[in-house]
């Protein structure tokens, strides 16, 4: 291949660099303020021992095929049964990633003639699935229940009488840290005979009874689809999609991402089982995390004058892409692993530092981090 064949790709990368949007891989280093390992499960001895135990009893690393071929391992089925009981779902399917699960559900469950109303800030994986769907899709203003309802009413009045509305939200938003009004949205879905899809990625493990998430109060509603990712507070990988048996069977038969993908590692399924048990057996982790999260929300308000989100995700809006990158780089140089988030991941003009609180740090470290961040932000003027 001649260098000219790569010219358009090089031009795109150069354009990203000019806009200060070029992404690069940065090694993990310093105090953890960027991971989603909220409860510190990822490096826990207990999960390491669970992996060792599973290998000792012969659980394979690889599945060897899709779930519909030879890849369906007893560990997958055991995890799905235990997760359904824990989460209060009629049935659960285990996917290899939250991204893949979102793409599968949105591209498969909503049908032609349906409407998907999604929060304007819903995750990129939901957008990807929605783009592949045959349903009509419209955004609604962030956390505005009235806007969701207006979109459904407008669709109905324009002839959308034969399909179903699907409401798509996150329970805790990954870049803003705020919560969706789930009770009001569930009532809206009931009122319009529709479905509610809730991505619990950043709530699983840290909110709700025993870490079951903010949708725990909506247990056993057949029109609710709940996605719990396993790569954040659970410290492992994959995703658990909980809903009615009918919708799970439909996904098994129609979701191309499920049918044509090699099944997730049985070894990882065994490890996720242990992570779910840890949520029940080790409540002190969640209690300690609640204290740490509250402390961080107080610190960001006192030292930066920024109102805390109330969750473990604390955005500091910088605005300018270059300034956000410079501040993050200086914080990493000082031993605090903080990353800059820029468009298109977040809206134009809202480049930010996404500060994540985990049990991998303590109160003194959080306090030092915010003190240093305040000083650097004062030096790196807009």
Catalytic residue of the set 143, 174, 223, 244? 174
Catalytic residue among 232, 261, 297, 321: 232
Q: Which two tokens stand for residue 214?
A: 């903010």
Instruction: Name the catalytic one among 73, 118, 192, 202.
Output: 202
Residue 174 vs residues 22, 177, 199, 350: alpha-carbon distances, Å: 21, 6, 10, 14
CA 102 – CA 123 distance, rounded (Å)? 9
Which of 73, 123, 192, 228 does the annotation list as catalytic? 123
Q: Three-class SS of residue 314?
A: strand
Strand pairing category for 339-341 and 239-243: unpaired
Known active-site residue 36: yes
Show the tokens assigned to 135. 């349903």
CB 20 within 8 Å of CB 327: no
DSSP for 317-339 reads: EEESHHHHHHHHHHHHHTTEE-E
d(CA 371, CA 335): 13
199 is catalytic: yes
The residue annotated as part of the active site, out of 32, 80, 149, 199, is 199
Q: Edge-to-edge strand order for the sheet containing 115-119?
A: 91-95, 239-243, 224-229, 195-199, 165-170, 115-119, 136-140
Query: No. of H helices and E strands in the chain?
Result: 13, 12
Catalytic residue among 32, 90, 149, 170: 170
Q: Name the token pair of 166.
A: 């699907």
Task: Please state, in angstroms and rounded to a whole number, the distance separating the CA atoms of residues 106 and 129.
Answer: 5
123 a catalytic residue: yes
Is 201 within 8 Å of 215 (Cβ atoms)?
no
Nearest to 360 by CA among 268, 278, 292: 292
Query: Quick check: is 232 catalytic?
Result: yes
170 is catalytic: yes
CB-based contact 251:258 (threshold 8 Å): yes
List, by residue number, the catalytic residues.
36, 123, 170, 174, 199, 202, 232
């Amino acid at each position: 291949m001649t260098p000219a064949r790569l010219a358009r790709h090089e031009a795109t990368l150069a354009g990203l660099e000019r806009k200060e949007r070029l992404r690069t891989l940065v090694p993990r280093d310093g105090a953890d303020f960027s991971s989603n390992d909220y409860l510190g499960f990822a490096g826990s001895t207990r999960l390491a021992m669970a992996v060792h135990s599973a290998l000792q009893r012969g659980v394979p690393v690889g599945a060897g095929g899709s779930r519909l071929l030879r890849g369906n391992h007893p560990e997958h089925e055991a995890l799905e049964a235990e997760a359904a009981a824990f989460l209060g779902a009629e049935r659960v399917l285990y996917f290899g990633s939250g991204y893949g699960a979102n793409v599968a559900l949105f591209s498969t469950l909503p049908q032609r003639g349906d409407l998907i109303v999604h929060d304007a800030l819903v995750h990129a994986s939901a957008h990807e699935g929605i783009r592949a769907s045959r349903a009509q899709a419209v955004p609604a203003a962030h956390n505005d229940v009235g806007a969701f309802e207006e979109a459904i009413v407008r669709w109905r009045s324009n002839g959308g009488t034969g399909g179903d509305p699907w409401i798509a939200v996150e329970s805790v938003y990954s870049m803003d840290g705020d919560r969706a009004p789930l009770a009001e949205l569930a009532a809206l879905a009931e009122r319009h005979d529709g479905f509610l899809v809730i991505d619990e990625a950043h709530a699983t493990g840290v909110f709700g009874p025993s870490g079951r998430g903010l949708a725990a109060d909506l247990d056993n509603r057949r029109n609710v689809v709940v996605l719990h990712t396993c790569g954040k507070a659970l410290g492992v990988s994959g995703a658990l999609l909980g809903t009615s048996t009918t919708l799970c069977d439909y996904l098994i038969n129609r979701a191309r991402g499920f049918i044509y993908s090699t099944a997730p590692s049985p070894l990882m399924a065994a490890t996720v089982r242990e992570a779910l048990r840890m949520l029940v057996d080790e409540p002190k982790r969640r209690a300690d995390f609640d204290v740490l999260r509250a402390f961080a929300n107080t610190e960001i308000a006192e030292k930066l004058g920024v109102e805390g989100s109330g969750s473990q995700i604390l955005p500091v809006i910088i605005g300018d892409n270059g300034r956000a990158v410079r501040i993050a780089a200086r914080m990493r140089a000082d031993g605090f692993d903080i990353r800059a988030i820029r468009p298109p991941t977040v809206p134009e003009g809202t480049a930010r530092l996404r500060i994540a609180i985990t049990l991998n740090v303590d109160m003194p470290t959080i306090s030092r981090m915010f003190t240093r961040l305040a000083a650097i932000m004062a030096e790196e003027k807009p």
